[in-house]
Structure 1
Amino acid sequence: MALAAFFLEVTNGGRIRRRALLDVAALLSGLLLMGAKPPQAAAPETAPAPTALEPLTPTSRRAYAEVLKLRLDAARSLLRSELAATPKSPAPLLVANCADFVELVVSQDAKRYDALTESQEARLDALDEAPASALRDYARAEITLHLGLSQLLFKHLVAGGFHLRSGYHQMQDVVKHYPNFTPARKTLGVCDFAVGAMPEGYHWLLRLLGLTPSVEAGLRNLSLAASQPSDFQLESQLLQALIRESYYKQPAEAERLTARLTAEQPENLLFAYVRMSVAKRQHHADAALAAYRARPTGPAYLPVPYLHHMAADLLLYRGDYAASERENLAFLHESRGQHYHKDAVFKLYLAAWLGGQPAAAIARYRSLINQPGPADVEEDTYAQHYYDEARALNPILTRARLQSDGGYDREALATLRSFRPTATTLWRDRIEAPYRRARAFQGLGQLDSAWFYFEATLSEAGPKAPYYYAPQAALQQGYMAQSAGNKPVARKYFLKALAYPWHEYKNSTDAKAKLALRTLK
Structure 2
Amino acid sequence: MAHPLASAHSPSGLRLLLGLLLVLLTTAAASPPQHDTAQAPETTSAAAGSLTPGLRRAYAELLKLRVEPARQLLQEEAKRAPGSAGTLLVADCIDFTELMIRQDASRYEAVVAAQDRRLAQLEKSREAGPLPAYARAEIRLHQAAAQVTYQHEIQGAWSLRQAYQQMQAVVKAYPDFLPARKTLGMCQFMIGSVPEGYRWFLKLLGLPGSVEAGVQNLRRAAQQPHDFQPEARIILALVQETYFKQGEESARLVQQLATQQPDNLLYSYLLLSLNKRLHRTDAALAAYRSRPTGAGYLPIPYLHHMAADLLLYQGQYAASGRANQQFLQDYPGVHYRKDAAFKLYLAAWLSGDDKTAERYRQQINQGGRTVVEEDAYAQRFFEGQLPLNRTLTRARLQIDGGYYRPALATLRGFSAATGPLRDRLEEPYRRARAYHGLGRLDSARLYYTRTIALAGKAPYYFGPQSALQMGYLCQADGQLNMARLYFQKALDSPKHEYKNSTDAKAKVALAGLPR
TM-score normalised to structure 1 length: 0.91
Deviation at 1:18, TM superposition (A): 6.0
Match of 1:305 in 2: 301
Question: In the alignment, is the contact (CA less than 8 A) between 2:10 and 2:198 conserved in 1?
Answer: no
Deviation at 1:79, TM superposition (A): 0.9
In the TM superposition, what whole-angstrom CA distance separates every residue of 1:86-116 from its partner, at most 9, and x where no partner exists? 1211112111110000011011111111111
Match of 1:71 in 2: 66
Q: Distance in 1 between matches of 2:93 and 2:399?
A: 38
Counterpart AA for 1:377: V
Q: Distance in 1 between matches of 2:65 and 2:106?
A: 20
Question: In the alignment, is the contact (CA less than 8 A) between 1:309 and 1:344 conserved in 2?
Answer: yes
Deviation at 1:80, TM superposition (A): 0.5
Deviation at 1:49, TM superposition (A): 5.2
Deviation at 1:300, TM superposition (A): 1.1
Deviation at 1:514, TM superposition (A): 1.4
Match of 1:117 in 2: 112
- SS of 2:244's equivalent in the other structure is coil
- SS of 1:441's equivalent in the other structure is helix
Task: Map residues 149-188 of structure 1 onto 2, 5 A cutoff.
Answer: 149-188=145-184
Task: Map residues 482-497 of structure 1 onto 2, 5 A cutoff.
Answer: 482-497=475-490
Q: Which moved more, 1:487-496 or 1:50-59?
A: 50-59
Match of 2:501 in 1: 508
Q: Distance in 1 between matches of 2:370 and 2:101?
A: 18
Match of 1:20 in 2: 13
Question: In the alignment, is the contact (CA less than 8 A) between 1:22 and 1:155 conserved in 2?
Answer: no
Question: In the alignment, is the contact (CA less than 8 A) between 2:64 and 2:264 conserved in 1?
Answer: yes
Deviation at 1:373, TM superposition (A): 2.9
Match of 2:31 in 1: none
Q: Distance in 2 between matches of 1:216 and 1:157?
A: 27
Counterpart AA for 1:83: A
Q: Distance in 1 between matches of 2:60 and 2:341?
A: 35
Task: Map residues 122-521 of structure 1 onto 2, 5 A cutoff.
Answer: 122-131=117-126, 132-357=128-353, 359-423=354-418, 425-461=419-455, 463-520=456-513, 521=515
Q: Distance in 2 between matches of 1:133 and 1:48?
A: 10
Size of the aligned set, in residue pairs, is 489
Q: Distance in 2 between matches of 1:368 and 1:104?
A: 26
Deviation at 1:232, TM superposition (A): 1.8
Segments of structure 2 that go 5 or more residues without pairing to the other structure are 1-8, 26-35
Deviation at 1:354, TM superposition (A): 0.6
Q: Distance in 1 between matches of 2:38 and 2:505?
A: 35
Question: In the alignment, is the contact (CA less than 8 A) between 2:337 and 2:367 conserved in 1?
Answer: no
Q: Distance in 1 between matches of 2:140 and 2:10?
A: 24
Question: In the alignment, is the contact (CA less than 8 A) between 1:120 and 1:143 conserved in 2?
Answer: yes
In the TM superposition, what whole-angstrom CA distance separates every residue of 1:404-425 from its partner, at most 9, and x where no partner exists? 00100001001011112232x1
Give the RMSD, CA atoms, in angstroms. Answer: 1.7
Match of 1:99 in 2: 94
Counterpart AA for 1:140: R
Match of 1:10 in 2: none
Q: Distance in 1 between matches of 2:477 and 2:405?
A: 25
- SS of 2:366's equivalent in the other structure is coil
TM-score normalised to structure 2 length: 0.92
Q: Distance in 1 between matches of 2:333 and 2:180?
A: 30
Percent identical among aligned pairs is 55
Deviation at 1:458, TM superposition (A): 1.6
Deviation at 1:158, TM superposition (A): 2.2
In the TM superposition, what whole-angstrom CA distance separates every residue of 1:168-191 from its partner, at most 9, and x where no partner exists? 111000001111111100000101
Deviation at 1:129, TM superposition (A): 2.3
Question: In the alignment, is the contact (CA less than 8 A) between 2:147 and 2:155 conserved in 1?
Answer: yes
- SS of 2:237's equivalent in the other structure is helix
Q: Distance in 2 between matches of 1:466 and 1:410?
A: 29
In the TM superposition, what whole-angstrom CA distance separates every residue of 1:106-137 from its partner, at most 9, and x where no partner exists? 11111111111111111112222222420111
Q: Distance in 1 between matches of 2:211 and 2:506?
A: 14
Deviation at 1:377, TM superposition (A): 0.7
Q: Distance in 2 between matches of 1:254 and 1:422?
A: 42
Q: Which moved more, 1:319-328 or 1:202-211?
A: 202-211
Deviation at 1:73, TM superposition (A): 0.5
Q: Distance in 1 between matches of 2:255 and 2:368?
A: 37
Distance 1:90 1:18, change over 3 A: closer
In the TM superposition, what whole-angstrom CA distance separates every residue of 1:160-213 from its partner, at most 9, and x where no partner exists? 222111111110000011111111000001010011110111111112211112
Question: In the alignment, is the contact (CA less than 8 A) between 2:338 and 2:367 conserved in 1?
Answer: no
Counterpart AA for 1:210: G
Segments of structure 1 that go 5 or more residues without pairing to the other structure are 1-15, 33-46
Q: Distance in 2 between matches of 1:452 and 1:158?
A: 46
Distance 1:253 1:86, change over 3 A: same
Match of 1:39 in 2: none
Counterpart AA for 2:211: V
Whose relative contact order is higher, 1 or 2, with alpha carbons under 8 Å and at least 6 apart?
1
Q: Which moved more, 1:300-309 or 1:495-504?
A: 495-504
Counterpart AA for 2:237: A
Q: Distance in 2 between matches of 1:499 and 1:22?
A: 22
Counterpart AA for 1:516: A
Question: In the alignment, is the contact (CA less than 8 A) between 1:471 and 1:497 conserved in 2?
Answer: yes
Deviation at 1:459, TM superposition (A): 2.4
Match of 1:42 in 2: none
Deviation at 1:441, TM superposition (A): 0.3
Deviation at 1:229, TM superposition (A): 2.2
Question: In the alignment, is the contact (CA less than 8 A) between 2:55 and 2:74 conserved in 1?
Answer: yes
